[in-house]
Amino acid sequence: MLAYNRLPVAFEYGRGAWLWDTEGNQYLDALAGVAVCGLGHAHPAVVAAIQDQAKKLLHTSNIYCISLQENLANRLTALSGMDRVFFSNSGAEANEAALKIARRYGHNQGVDNPKIVVMTSSFHGRTLATLSATGNPKVQAGFEPLVQNFIRVPYNDITALKNLPKEACQEIVAILLEPVQGEGGVIVPDEDYLDQIRLICNQQGWLMMLDEVQTGLCRTGQWFAFQHSKAQPDVITLAKSLGGGIPIGACLARGVAAEVIQPGSHGSTCGGNPLACRSALAVLDTLEQANLASRAAQLGQRMIQSFQTMFGELPQVKAIRGKGLMMGIELDRPCGVLMSHALADGLLINVTASNVIRLLPPLIITDEESDIIASKLNNLIRSFLKNS
Ligand SMILES: *Cc1c(COP(=O)(O)O)cnc(C)c1O
């Protein structure tokens, strides 16, 4: 199906932060498969784990115990301070699990028409419920009727949350948001935003649910982006980088939220299968051993600094922002064409929200490689602005 507008290139193999196409051209990857390849390409620990597991056992079924899944759940709950995990195959499915938890949590409390607060410019996936939660009309167009009972408020606006009408509040059971918005344009909220949300959720009895599908697993300079704050969420969703390229998603829950799903109330055939869990365990081991959370924090700062020095003064550059190695450069005009300009220059980047250059380089990237990204971007932005 014609679901994608693809750039005219196909890659044959990769090593670290580099990719080679079928013609032998080399590219520096500053997108990492949209934050999936956090350890870069062909990381030896992930390769070895997949090879070894493929020889043993790929899949059984959630009808049986899966010890690799239990190990992975134990690692994730220890890292995040959560209690239980449900495994899926994607981010959208992880969010579906979160939305189902919220509704059931509501019904358990006698709320017959449970509502969930979501944000403007958010992204939560492409299934019917998650596209309904998404704050982007383009993602929803033509798929109405949408799943009902989402209440949308402006992102990074605590006053809007506090001003929700009393009648609505009685039916609200949860808030779902990204700790840093990715697709929406790499939007970093105020430092106390999550703490304020936690406070409101405590006062109102709402579940605080964080979509960490893009921000999770060291990307922002902490294991999870919420760990920059004091707030502990009730539900977290993960996917993208968790499997290092093998599809896997996870919905983590704590306290009452962790008890909502009982045998028979949710499921996934391949979710948490031995291969995906083995790969994810290798990803977590590597993130930990190489201390990639603090590396992402430190390198992200260094990259933002060099962007600021190189092109921060240009009047057409509206903002340079980010957290860790999740970075955005906002221009004063649509700049989607920069993706193909960069490609022609051997650099892989993304443009989101039409005028924000989004960078999600692998966390294993070296200082030298990050300098190449900065200098290539500098040239690309300057020549784009001169000619547009
Ligand atoms: C990518 C993404 C999703 C969707 O994940 P899929 O694996 O494509 O279903 C959901 N939420 C956020 C924040 C994302 O970045």
> If you search the block for the tokens 């539900």, which residue do you land on?
235
Q: What is the distance in A from the centroid of ligand 1 to the CA of 182? A: 9
Over residues 152-205, the pLDDT tens digits come to 999 999 999 999 999 999 999 999 999 999 999 999 999 999 999 999 999 999
Residue 326, pLDDT score: 98
Contact 221, 297 (CB under 8 A): yes
Query: b/e string for 57-95 if b means 16 or more Cβ within 10 A?
Result: eeeeeeeeebebbeebbebbbebbebbbbbbbbbbbbbb
Over residues 314-363, the pLDDT tens digits come to 999 999 999 999 999 999 999 999 999 999 999 999 999 999 999 999 99
Residue 21, pLDDT score: 98
Secondary structure, 3-state, the chain: CCCCCCCCCCEEEEEECEEEECCCCEEEECCHHHHCCCCCECCHHHHHHHHHHHHHCCCCCCCCCCHHHHHHHHHHHHHHCCCEEEEECCHHHHHHHHHHHHHHHHHHCCCCCCEEEEECCCCCCCCHHHHHHCCCHHHHCCCCCCCCCEEEECCCCHHHHHCCCHHHHHHEEEEEECCCECCCCCECCCCCHHHHHHHHHHHHCCEEEEECCCCCCCCCCCCCHHHHCCCCCCEEEECHHHHECECCEEEEECCHHHHCCCCCCCCCCCCCCHHHHHHHHHHHHHHHHCCHHHHHHHHHHHHHHHHHHHHCCCCCEEEEEEECCEEEEEECCCCCCHHHHHHHCCEECEEECCCEEEECCCCCCCHHHHHHHHHHHHHHHHHHHHCC
In angstroms, the Cα distances linking 344 to 25, 292, 330, 334, 380 are 10, 30, 21, 19, 10
Contact 74, 272 (CB under 8 A): no
pTM of the model: 0.98
162 is catalytic: no
Over residues 71-81, the pLDDT tens digits come to 999 999 999 99
Binding residues for N(2)-acetyl-L-ornithine: 126, 268
The catalytically annotated residue of 123, 150, 224, 384 is 123
* pLDDT (mean) for 208-230: 98
Q: What is the distance in A from the centroid of ligand 1 to the CA of 214? A: 7
Topology of domain 11-37+291-387, CATH: Aspartate Aminotransferase, domain 1 (3.90.1150)
Candidates 88, 124, 136, 352: which one to mutate for ligand 1, based on the most atoms within 8 Å of Cβ?
124
- Cα–Cα distance measured from residue 208 to residue 202, given in angstroms and rounded to the nearest whole number: 9
For the chain, which residues make up each domain, given as ranges? 11-37+291-387, 46-289
CATH classification for the domain delimited by 46-289, as one of 3.40.640.10, 3.60.20.10, 3.40.50.300, 1.20.140.150? 3.40.640.10
Residue 346, pLDDT score: 98
Residue 94, pLDDT score: 98
* pLDDT (mean) for 23-42: 98
Residues in contact with ligand 1 (CB, 6 Å cut-off): 90-92, 95, 123-125, 178, 182-183, 211, 213-214, 239-240
Across all residues in the chain, what is the average pLDDT? 98
Residue 57, pLDDT score: 98
Token pair for residue 380?
A: 């690309």
* pLDDT (mean) for 205-226: 98
211 is catalytic: yes
* pLDDT (mean) for 33-42: 98
Over residues 90-142, the pLDDT tens digits come to 999 999 999 999 999 999 999 999 999 999 999 999 999 999 999 999 999 99
* pLDDT (mean) for 9-28: 98
- Atom index in ligand 1 nearest the CA of residue 126 equals 9
Over residues 266-317, the pLDDT tens digits come to 999 999 999 999 999 999 999 999 999 999 999 999 999 999 999 999 999 9
Q: What is the distance in A from the centroid of ligand 1 to the CA of 125? A: 5
End-to-end CA distance of the chain: 33
Residue 66, pLDDT score: 98
Q: What is the distance in A from the centroid of ligand 1 to the CA of 31? A: 15
